[in-house]
Amino acid sequence: MDERLKFVAGLLDGEKMAVLCRRFGISRKTGYKILDRYNSCGAEGLTDRSRRLYRHANQLPVQIETLIVRSKQERPHWGAPKIRDWPGFEARAARGAAAASSFSRSECATRHPSD
């Protein structure tokens, strides 16, 4: 953040973008990105941002995830193939979707105690 702040300070002092970018070893595109973040958010905009994805393409819907976790808690020795092939799983998935939505995600993520 200190380097970014020095970069913005140089721009505010009237130095040219290309010269500053060359001195700091960054591209002009990155220089303009830093300046835009400073203009929109102030000094807070210069902090490092998380690179974590906002959404995950292969993530299951919360209702199905809840159903799987509850099935695993009821039958701790069953693995994924057995739960998936369980005859009642598809029917329960369709029927339990509305009920499962009332559970919070944190409750679904808790692990069962080891046997």
Note the pLDDT of residue 101: 38
Note the pLDDT of residue 107: 47
Q: What is the pLDDT of residues 87-104, one digit of tens each?
A: 767 666 655 443 333 344
Q: Establish how many alpha carbons lie within 13 A of residue 103's alpha carbon, considering only the half-sphere containing its beta carbon.
A: 21
0.85 exceeded by pTM: no
The secondary structure of 6-62 as a DSSP string is HHHHHHHTT--HHHHHHHHT--HHHHHHHHHHHHHHGGGGGS------SS-TTPPPH
